[in-house]
Amino acid sequence: MQKDITYLMGLDVYTDKGIKIGVVDDAVVDTDNGIIKQLALADVVKEFRDPSKRGLLLPFRWVLSIGEIIIVKWPIETEMPGNMETATKEDMDKDKVKESTS
């Protein structure tokens, strides 16, 4: 079943642990391949907000479920780092290796 991308706008986004992150405000689409790359969130709760940014970009590959809300797999067990919009799980794993070797 296909739905219009505007269906996503305004949906609340929660982590898989039930913590609200924010609300979908926009989406970044790869028009060449016809896929959603990222979700742009607004009204981001302070625990996930980078004060220097307007909102938050989440990789669409983190989305686990879309219904009346969107559930995403949050790859970090602790508080969010300042620049999450470009971080990937691989980046975080590299950071863990750096920390353990320091």
Top-confidence residue, 45 or 95: 45
pTM: 0.69
* pLDDT score of 70: 96
- Residue 41 is predicted with a pLDDT of 94
pLDDT at 1: 52
Give the pLDDT score at 50: 81
Q: Provide the pLDDT for residue 81.
A: 43
Please report the domains of the chain, with CATH numbers, ordered by start residue: 5-101 (2.30.30.240)
pLDDT in tens, 21-72: 999 999 999 999 989 999 999 999 888 888 878 889 999 999 999 999 999 9
Task: Write the Ramachandran bin of 9: left for phi over 0, alpha for psi from -120 to 50, otherwise beta.
Answer: beta
